[in-house]
Structure 1
Amino acid sequence: MPQLLDRRTGPYARHLLAGSGYVLGGFDCPPDAARWHEPNWIGERPHVVLPSTAVRIGAGTAPDEVRTVNEVVVYDRDTTYRRGLVSAEGDRCTFVAVGDELADALGLETGAGVRHVPCASESYLRVHRARAALRRSDPDLLAADEAVLAVLGHTARRLRPLRRAGRADRAAAAVAVDAVKGLLAGDPTRVWTLAELGAAVHYSPYFLARTFHRHTGYPIARYRRLLCLRQSLPRVLRTGADLSRIAAEHGFSSHSHYTRAFRAAFGCTPSQARGAQVPIT
């Protein structure tokens, strides 16, 4: 299951989240570091990197090129590369070190060493929101996990278009999505992980997250959160209802956590919804 980390793995790198087949981390290398003047090794896993500063990157005989916040940079495992200083802030980025099974499913590696694709605004926002959410006292690890997997999937599709699913595949996907919806509806306050849901329907976490979103229009975490919120609404609208108790009984860690989620879903706080006398349907 996803696990929060706060582990420095070198002078400039820190691991933040162990997700479904990957590790999310941050890299912050100052402009006076020795690594600007020596070969850099990406490590034993392929990496997907979202720069926060501009940096010049090159590998093998390919020319060094400037990479900016508008690009996603993908490194094959065991790649040795060069870095050149562009920004006075050095090299700051968010990276995803991808495990073997997920890298194979995504088709991330082609032997090119280092490649890049345009970074969609949504992808950039999702990863940085996921990083920010991990610093909260009650982080939604399922939502963060889905966000990272979605960005990996988008990057992989830009690198190599995925095969269009056949009719049998679409039918099987619909059955799997329906089964997950049933699991979520049957116990919406349970804190599921993608790995648990995927195992229940024999899908990898990556393909389940992608398939569920495509079929329902919702990420799994948001679908589950809306189940809890909408089921809680009739009680919220009753005069004198104890919001702290409602929050706890519907899977939220605190009154404030519940209020934030309620406002995001309905555009008002629980107290404002009660005052507006919204009819129960």
Structure 2
Amino acid sequence: MDARLLPTRDRAATPCRYGRRMPQLLDRLIGPYERHLLAGSGYVLGGFRCPPEAARWREPNWIGERPHVVLPSTAVRIGAGPAPDEVCTVNEVLVYDRDTTYRRGLVSAEGDRCTFVAVDDELADELGLETGAGVRHAPCAPEPYLRVHRARAALHRPDPDMLAADEAVLALLGHAARRPCPRGRADRGAAATVDAVKGLLAGAPTRVWTLAELGAAVHYSPYFLARTFHRHTGYPIARYRRLLCLRQSLPGVLRTGADLSRIAAEHGFSSHSHYTRAFRAAFGCTPSEARGTQVPIT
């Protein structure tokens, strides 16, 4: 990717100190190969396509002024400095230090296609993302890989779950950084913090929350809050909130003759189809099927 075209510290997208700004859908073409898709809590998520005939296969590439985490969609050979170039495939993640000059070598007939995350200084420092290696190749576990690709695909729907997308990207960054949670902070007061967030969600489950808002309310960064909440409850925050809405909707669903479109709107879903899709994912049946069968509600 040509990160020279990415504005340094784009504060409209990634506000200082994790401000309360909503994550933003971008769909912004940056030069001939790069598209920005989402501005989240301290990062920009994008897609990159470099065809085999592009000149950048034959010249040095510069990652830019931000660290990057990259999920390849095609095999590509990448190297920096004196270290030998390595083939990176879809089973790996690449972590680039800021201001790294690197080499790109052709492996796939499709060229270089990838999903990338350009990370702001504050979040990169919190994660301990940079190692001084220039570029680091590491295995990528299936769960964060799938979550990010699901989130990227969902951004093209009319009703994307921005909280879920934000959490998915932050989970990938945490996986790539592999810095453990500070145990002292996690052990002192984490349960009370998670309880406070659960109270906020339960008090206004249909509100469109952001990680920045929830984090500000409990004085946690978005990344640390998402990781702490998941560890203590077993749920990402977006899924916990969605299940609150779905389970609270059940009494209405099970009443004969109730208007499902009205129920969907009352419980924070943008459409009947959005509600039905989420209901099936949670309970294994549609709302209409739940009315006519004895469905165990979990």
TM-score range, shorter chain: over 0.9
After TM superposition, the structure 1 stretch with the greater mean CA deviation from structure 2, 24-33 or 110-119, is 110-119
1:26 Cα deviation from its structure 2 partner: 0.4
Q: TM-score, normalised by structure 1?
A: 0.94
Provide closer, same or farther for how the CA distance between residues 280 and 193 of structure 1 changes in structure 2, counting only shifts above 3 A: closer
- Which structure 2 residue ranges, 5 or more long, are not aligned? 1-21
* Equivalent residues in 2 for 1:59-208, closer than 5 Å: 59-157=80-178, 166=184, 169-174=187-192, 176-208=193-225
Identity of matched residues, %: 91
CA distance in 2, matches of 1:168, 1:208: 10
CA distance in 1, matches of 2:296, 2:118: 49
Provide closer, same or farther for how the CA distance between residues 168 and 32 of structure 1 changes in structure 2, counting only shifts above 3 A: closer
The superposition leaves residues 15-43 of structure 1 with CA deviations (integer Å, 9 ceiling, x where unpaired) of 00001000000000000001101110001
1:118 Cα deviation from its structure 2 partner: 0.3
Q: TM-score, normalised by structure 2?
A: 0.89
Provide closer, same or farther for how the CA distance between residues 277 and 42 of structure 1 changes in structure 2, counting only shifts above 3 A: same
Q: Do the aligned partners of 1:73 and 1:115 also contact (CA within 8 Å) in 2?
A: yes
Q: Do the aligned partners of 1:234 and 1:280 also contact (CA within 8 Å) in 2?
A: no
Q: SS in structure 2 opposite 1:96?
A: strand
1:170 Cα deviation from its structure 2 partner: 3.8
CA distance in 2, matches of 1:280, 1:75: 46
CA distance in 1, matches of 2:189, 2:39: 32
Q: Do the aligned partners of 2:163 and 2:210 also contact (CA within 8 Å) in 1?
A: yes
Q: SS in structure 2 opposite 1:108?
A: coil
Q: SS in structure 2 opposite 1:168?
A: helix
- Which structure 1 residue ranges, 5 or more long, are not aligned? 159-165
After TM superposition, the structure 1 stretch with the greater mean CA deviation from structure 2, 115-124 or 178-187, is 115-124
CA distance in 2, matches of 1:72, 1:94: 10
CA distance in 2, matches of 1:279, 1:115: 47
1:277 Cα deviation from its structure 2 partner: 4.6
Q: Do the aligned partners of 1:76 and 1:112 also contact (CA within 8 Å) in 2?
A: yes
Structure 1 consecutive aligned stretches of length 4 or more whose deviation exceeds 3 Å:
167-170, 277-281
Q: SS in structure 2 opposite 1:84?
A: strand
The superposition leaves residues 176-217 of structure 1 with CA deviations (integer Å, 9 ceiling, x where unpaired) of 111100000001000000000000000000000000000000
CA distance in 1, matches of 2:48, 2:134: 20
Q: Do the aligned partners of 1:103 and 1:109 also contact (CA within 8 Å) in 2?
A: yes
Q: How many residues align?
A: 273
Q: Do the aligned partners of 2:70 and 2:117 also contact (CA within 8 Å) in 1?
A: yes
CA distance in 1, matches of 2:87, 2:295: 54
CA distance in 1, matches of 2:34, 2:185: 44
